[in-house]
Amino acid sequence: MLRVVQCLSILLIVFDSAFSFTQSAVFLEAVEAINNVLMLLVLPPPIHSLQFRVNEEFGNAPYVGRDVFVLWIRHPYEFLQCIGESPDSFENLFRDVLPLMPLRAKLSRRNILLLTLWWLRRYPTLAQIALVFDVSQMAASRYIRRMIPILHQFLRREVVWPTAQQWQELRGVWSCIRNAVGAIDGTSHHIYRPSNEDQQHFYSGYRHMHCFHTIVIITNNFKVAMCRGGYLGHNNDTAIFNLMRRYVQIPRNVFLLGDQAFPNGWPIISPYKANQIRAVRGTPLHAQRVAVNKTIRMYRPRVENCIADVKHYEVLHHMYRHDRATQAMICDIIGGLTNRRLQMFDDMFH
């Protein structure tokens, strides 16, 4: 078919040259019409995206930006649920990061911060953000990309690893396990299968998905001491802890509570497994190991409730749809936001 069209095009050019001396308007119009038909056969019309076709049919008004902060601030409880900050704590955070924020933007800088915190807390799609704030999806993505390094620069200072003296002062807070000064836990974040990297490094055989891992360490007064993410999915919690062991500097006489995914040995105390308890049945060690597991289970719900504050940020809960290189920074940001949130509740109720 393509060869036929090419031959017809050549003949049309020859006829056009042969009869051009006549300067006949009818002939020239016929030549142009045939040429247009042949060009359509050779080059079909472009297929536009759905966004282009919808906007062309229904019209697309220009984006002017909307002051969402003025609307949301009238409902403080829903404001707290949507972004994880009270109106007062939001204003404090805004004053701290204001010197670092970009000057030129269609949205006000207060609304850009609100947009970013809402994205972290509830993880809406870019289309939802565009409708709420009346900006384009490209602009919403650009605001988030610019704000992540700014928030990371400020909020990473909220997560501080205690000194040796501070770890010693935490002894005895949990009366039944006096040498336990904190807890450690891991969580996984689902990601799309990598298309341009070796996917087996990201695949977790235990969870049957491609993911990143994050390790959270809290103190026994329920402050986030470390929130480190970006570990590849093929690692388990023990392998990840071995990679980060040089960052976990605590005195030899204190321990962290962990679940059965972590090794039972300094600096972690983890419950005995069922086969370890069965192996000593009928000996004095059996009652001792059962008692240790019961004591650890008594404190474990408190630990899970504190770590749940980190997992309530849905950017770490749902499938991560954005650049994987930013995921480690987001973990640091959420650790800082969690400590601010816990401090806010302490000030509110004490």
pLDDT in tens, the chain (350 residues): 545 545 555 555 545 555 454 456 665 666 676 666 656 555 555 665 666 666 655 556 677 788 999 999 999 999 999 998 889 999 999 998 988 887 677 788 999 999 999 999 999 999 999 999 989 888 999 999 999 999 999 998 888 889 989 999 999 888 888 888 988 888 888 888 887 778 888 888 888 888 888 888 888 888 888 888 888 888 888 888 888 877 778 888 898 888 888 888 888 888 888 888 888 888 888 888 888 888 888 887 777 777 778 878 888 878 888 777 788 889 889 989 988 887 777 776 66
Beta strands in the chain (DSSP E): 180-190, 203-204, 209-219, 224-232, 255-257, 268-269
Structural tokens at position 66: 């909307």
Give residue 27's pLDDT: 59
Q: With contact defined as beta carbons under 8 Å apart, do 220 and 166 qualify?
A: no
Alpha-carbon distance of 330 to 214, in angstroms, equals 11
CA–CA separation, 287 and 5 (whole Å)? 90
Strands 209-219 and 224-232, how do they pair? antiparallel
CB 175 within 8 A of CB 139: no
pTM more than 0.95: no
DSSP per residue over 190-229, as a string? Answer: EBPPPSSS-GGGTEETTTTEEEEEEEEEEETTS-EEEEEE
Number of helices (H), then strands (E), belonging to the chain: the values are: 14, 6
Domain boundaries, the chain: 2-42, 68-157, 166-311
User: What is the structure's pLDDT at 54?
Assistant: 63
Structure confidence at residue 115 (pLDDT): 94
First-to-last C-alpha distance (Å) of the chain? 82
